[in-house]
């Protein structure tokens, strides 16, 4: 076997792919959140619509976004493959099993595949509702500052007035919170970064990230449903 294939198919190589794609997706979450928080501005959606226009028309951003889709798919497929392989390592199940852990959430660590699947279903619905409707020109157009843009804000407001969509977004963000609670710090451990000098900081940062980012995301549908 070639050294590179051998590395990528080893248990450590597979985990490295999970770790690197996972950390990239954490960066994506920050950028996506920063853009989406403009939905909360009281400007009739002008800032958000212009931002959405830039995101879909700047060639550099478009290239990065295709990279993001690729990493999401890679992270999901590799995660599912790993979860299935790991299940196969124990055919006879314990009658009684308690999973104690040190420094991570036992529930999140054991249910990463389930939480990940919930997030994948959420992504399907989320992109079908906004990304696809914008791509297939199912949104109205309007002119802001001389640029003809699609009114994604109107679409967001319409979706976030539907009860089940808002509820589903909140549930998905709780799932994301648990996924990040284990995933963030686990990514550094997989990279080989575990040291008393910085691991307590990474664990704290991971907890903060896992709570803050999904909470802010969940605030958007809740704000539209209850306040706007």
Smallest gap from residue 114 Cβ to another protein (A):
12
Q: What is the dihedral of CA 174, 179, 185, 188, to 10 degrees?
A: -140
Residue 197 as a binder of another protein (CB under 8 A): the answer is: no
Measuring CA to CA, which residue among 132, 133, 131, 154 is closest to residue 142? Answer: 154
List binders of another protein among 169-188 (CB under 8 A): 182, 185-186
Q: Interface with another protein includes 107 (CB under 8 A)?
A: no
Which one, of 27, 66, 8, lies nearest residue 184 by Cα? 27
- Interface with another protein includes 200 (CB under 8 A)? no
What letter would DSSP give residue 192?
A: T
**2/137 with CB nearer another protein:** 2
**Cα separation of 76 and 83, whole Å?**
10
Q: Which of 42, 60, 66, 96 binds another protein (CB under 8 A)?
A: 96
The answer to the question of residue 82 lying near another protein (CB under 8 A) is yes
Whose CA is closest to 119, among 177, 186, 66, 166?
A: 177
- Minimum Å distance from CB 167 to another protein? 30
Q: Give Cα separations from 11 to 18, 74, 99, 141, 180 (angstroms).
A: 11, 16, 22, 50, 21
- What is the closest distance, in whole angstroms, from the C-beta atom of residue 208 to another protein in the complex? 19
CA pair distance 46, 36, nearest whole angstrom? 12
- Using the minimum distance from each CB to another protein, give the nearer residue, 57 or 110: 110
Tell which one of 14, 75, 155, 179 touches another protein (CB under 8 A): 14
User: Binding residues for another protein, per CB under 8 A?
Assistant: 1-3, 6-7, 10-12, 14-16, 82, 85-104, 106, 109-110, 112, 182, 185-186, 189-195
């Amino acid at each position: 076997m070639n050294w590179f294939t051998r590395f990528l198919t080893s248990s450590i190589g597979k985990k490295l792919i999970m770790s690197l794609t996972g950390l990239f997706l954490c960066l994506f979450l920050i950028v996506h959140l920063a853009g989406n928080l403009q939905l909360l501005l009281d400007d009739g959606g002008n800032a958000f619509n212009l931002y959405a226009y830039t995101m879909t028309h700047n060639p550099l951003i478009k290239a990065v976004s295709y990279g993001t889709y690729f990493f999401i798919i890679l992270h999901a497929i590799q995660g599912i493959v790993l979860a299935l392989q790991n299940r196969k390592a124990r055919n006879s199940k314990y009658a009684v099993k308690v999973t104690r852990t040190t420094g991570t959430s036992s529930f999140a660590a054991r249910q990463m595949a389930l939480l990940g699947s919930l997030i994948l279903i959420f992504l399907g619905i989320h992109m079908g509702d906004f990304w696809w409707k914008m791509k297939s020109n199912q949104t109205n157009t309007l002119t802001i500052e001389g640029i003809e843009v699609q009114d994604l804000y109107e679409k967001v407001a319409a979706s976030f007035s539907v009860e089940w969509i808002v509820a589903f977004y909140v549930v998905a963000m709780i799932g994301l919170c648990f996924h990040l609670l284990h995933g963030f710090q686990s990514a550094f451990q997989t990279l080989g970064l575990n040291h008393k000098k910085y691991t307590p900081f990474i664990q704290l940062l991971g907890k903060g990230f896992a709570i803050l980012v999904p909470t802010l995301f969940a605030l958007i549908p809740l704000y539209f449903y209850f306040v706007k």
